[in-house]
Amino acid sequence: MGKEGGGEEALLPLFETKEARFRGAYKVFASTVLVGICLIWVYRLTHIPRAGEQGRWAWIGTFMAELLFSLYWIFTQSCRFKVVYNYPSKERLSNRYKDKLPGVDIFVCTADPKIEPPTLVINTILSTMSYNYPPEMLSVYLSDDGGSELTYYALLEASGFSKHWIPFCKKFNVVPRSPGAFFAQQIDVQDMTYAQEWLALKIERGSHRCRSSRANCEGWSKWVSPAWAFSRATRRHGMGLLA
């Protein structure tokens, strides 16, 4: 399991082993099957056709098939009687092999802002950017084949909101990490610090959503600035964006 790390951290197991549920019920079931197999063997051995009797070769073939399948079933019970599942510890794996984690590239693809609204696309991007993974090893890309200017504007708004959302997710281990799904659920506030940051973040998200919605309703031309008007793209050329 590796020897990186020091002290007790290096000795902690990287996974937890748990036995499968309802093993007792399976043992009872397997016992009944075994009794049935034994009874079939007894029947076959007590009803052996005599030499020259009609159906003797069919009996031999049937008995050999039953014998082979029965032996196979008996041998495989060694791994079925005690079924276990190994659950890896993500936190311990991350702490022990943090320097060896590979870089990850995540591509989010969209094409039509009517079928895939910019809000849905941005929620997906913010969710992937908030993964519990070293930020220097995680890159998220947005590929907009439709070249939607509204999606581009929504991405710019999301870049400002991500500066508040990602630290909030990592600080409080937020699940789900999609802003839309997170703020749609009810919360039971116990920590005042969490409640204050949650409220401030919700207000911040509301302002970003308001600007994106206004741009969507009133048209792109009222919101685009000359500083980056050159970034407009058509459906013919497409548009690739990096988050």
> Is residue 99 part of an annotated ligand binding site?
no
Confidence (pLDDT) at 209: 76
Q: Can you give the pLDDT at residue 234? A: 43
> For the chain, how far is it from start to end, CA to CA, in angstroms?
35
pLDDT of residue 72: 93
Flag residues of the chain having pLDDT under 70. 1-10, 212-243
User: C-alpha 156: how far from its chain's center?
Assistant: 27
Spatial CA neighbour of 170 closest among 105, 126, 119 = 126
Total-model pTM: 0.57
Tell me if 9 is assigned to a ligand binding site: no
